[in-house]
Every structure is written in C-alpha cells, then in structure tokens.
Amino acid sequence: MSQRDPSQLDLFTGGVSPTQARRSRKAEPVGPAPVSEEVRALGERLPQGLYLGTSSWAFPGWAGLVYDRDAAQSMLARQGLSAYARHPVLRTVGIDRTFYSPVSAVTFAEYAAQVPPGFRFLVKAHEVCTMARYPLHERYGVHRGQINDRFLQASYAADMVVAPFVEGLGDKAGPLVFQFPPQDPRSFGGPGRFVERLHAFFAALPRGPLYAVEVRNDELLTEGFAQALSELGVCPVLSAWRQMPPVVHQAVRTRALESRALVARWMLPPHLGYEEAYARYAPFDRLVDEDIVTREALAGICAAASHKGLPAFVIINNKAEGSAPLSALKLAASMDQVLSGRRGASSGSA
C-alpha cells in the first residue's frame, strides 16, 4: 500500500490525520474533506475566470484530499460530485464517460443540480465524431477496423452531443471538447483535408456553445488548423500528452491565447503510457513524479490568459503526476505566485 507524504495531506487539511479524515460513516452522504485556511485563501485569490479541475471525480484514493471518508467508487460516482464541487480550488470537472457513449439531457441536468452556480463542466464529445476508422479493439465489435461514417458528421453531433449538453447543463456548461485520438492522417485525406472537413463540421453546428478541439497527432497542428479554429471561434486544446510537443509550443502554434478561452488537459507524464502510469500511481493519493516543467508552463499560460481577460479551463488527470487534486493545488499555487509577481510589478511601476 502506498504511503502518502504527510506534507501533501497538510496542504489540504491543515494537519488532520488520515484516521480522522477517513473515518467511516456509512449512513451519511460523502462530504468534502476539511481544508486548511491556507488553501481556502488560495481559492479566494484565484481569478474568477480560472477553472481548475480533474478528469472525473469517483476515486476512493481521494479520501482526506477531496472526500471526508473512505467510500466505494460506485458511491462516489453517485454522491461525490457535490462534495468535490465544494473544494475551494476545484471549479470544474471533466465528464469523460460521454466519450464512450452519449448521455441524455436529464443526466447532464442531474450533474448540474449538484454543483454551485460558478462551477463549470468540461465535456468530451462522443468518440464516433472524431475517429475516421474504428480501432482494432474488441470493444468495437463488428465495427473493428471499419470506416466510421459518423466521423465529423454534423447532424449526428448536433442531435446526440450538442443538444443534450446545452439543454442539460445550461449556464454550467464549459468547453465541449472534440478529442481526435491518434490516427493515421491519411485515413481522412491528410492535414489539409482534415482542416477542410473540420471547418465544414463546426460551421454546421449550432452556434453558442464553447467548442474545443484536441488532436493527438503533432502533424495536425498546422497553420491551416489554427486559422480554421480562429475563424470558427473554436478553441484549441493544449494537450499535455507524451506524443505531443510541450504545451508552450502548442499554444504558439495554435494561437491559443487568441481564442475565446484557454483550454488545457494535463493527461500524462512525458515518459509513461496510460497503463504504466495507472500501475505506478494508483490509488492516486499522492504525487509520485512531479512534472514541474509542465506545471510552470501551464501556470504561465493561465496567467497570460487571465491578464487578457480570457477564461481558462485546465483539467488534470491522476496519471499526470500521481494525484490530480494535489496537482491542481500545486498548479493553483504556481499560478498565484505568477500573478502575485505581476501584481507586484504593476504596483511598482505605477
């Protein structure tokens, strides 16, 4: 069993012991873990337009960090969101289940009812919108390896993805992310043809939602891609993922700070794949491999977005450093330091 560094626990609880923080109260709903006054003050100092959060919320290892006690994953899936949303630094969360299958407006509305007015959701669009050919994986059944006729099909996306997202979440809707998994660009005609199809797709979708695009192929980050997103008012997603260039390079190539909002997803460390990271970091209750380079880069980019008055959404995966809530707290502290330096410099020059 992993041993959490007591200093990491103190960042959240101000010294509450694991025994106290994880006490079992099976008859009561899961509540938020106690946080220190330092963390509460940090949350109050962060810009209102900064939304830090994690990929989903149902992780039993977060007892004492986000939740007040041990609870099964199934219970956290049902009850944990309300407690999660009461943490002073966590203002958004990623809904990943929608990548595998669409959900109804009713389900989205149930999520929205559990969080305060200032909270926002980042939602991943159904994967059939973004893969040109079904992967050779058993979960795709008879479709394995076949051409996907719903790839960038605007009518399907509008009815099955956009409509329930808008109706169910209302003003708590954040970015709707269309994530394009790693795939052979020749399957959709190469980078140039991809831009053309992407432009036609978003031009046909309902106006209003904050759309965002994440690609996992470096060769798709072309000038044409950046221009198309700019024309459409669609945000690029900065993806901290091992086969993509550093997030600062992505920000420059996609003109991320000229978009309607900054959107970033901190997914994996540079040296590990998904399965390796999962095995190394579970149960996600401590930082194992701190990625200070990515953290400081994101802090700087978020601060630049704040300076320009842009909202910034950053979703962090447990497999980025070992524990997404602790990564969010460290990132918040880094950004606070950058902003404090800017405030100090501005005051000194006044």
Q: Give the three-state DSSP class for 25.
A: coil
Q: Report d(CA 261, CA 48) in Å as an integer.
A: 13
Alpha-carbon distances of 211 from 39, 135, 233, rounded to whole Å: 31, 25, 8
3-class state of residue 95 by DSSP:
strand
The model's pTM is 0.90
Per-residue pLDDT, 146: 85
pLDDT at 232: 96
Q: Which residues pair with 146 in a beta bridge?
A: none
Distance CA 335, CA 300 (A): 7
- What sign does the CA torsion over 26, 30, 33, 34 have? negative
Q: Does residue 147 register a pLDDT over 50? A: yes
Given this model, what pLDDT does residue 11 score? 55
CB 321 within 8 A of CB 290: yes
pLDDT at 24: 44
> What mean pLDDT value characterizes the chain?
91
Contact between 247 and 238 (Cβ < 8 Å): yes
**Region of 20 on the Ramachandran plot (φ > 0 left; ψ -120 to 50 alpha; else beta):** alpha
List, in order, residues 6 or more apart from 7 with CB less than 8 Å away: none
**What digits encode the pLDDT tens for the residues 50-67?**
999 999 999 999 999 999
Q: Which amino acid is present at 64? A: G
How far, in Å, are 92, 113, 215, 278 from residue 58 at the CA level? Answer: 14, 17, 26, 15
What are the backbone angles phi and psi of residue 277, rounded to the nearest 5°? -65, -40
pLDDT digits (tens, 9 = 90+) for 208-234: 999 999 999 999 999 999 999 999 999
Two structure tokens written together for 120: 């926002």
Tokens 């106006």 belong to which residue?
Answer: 207
pLDDT score recorded for residue 139: 82
What Cα–Cα distance (Å) separates residue 66 from each residue in 22, 31, 76, 93, 166? 11, 9, 11, 13, 28
Q: Is the pLDDT of residue 12 over 70?
A: no
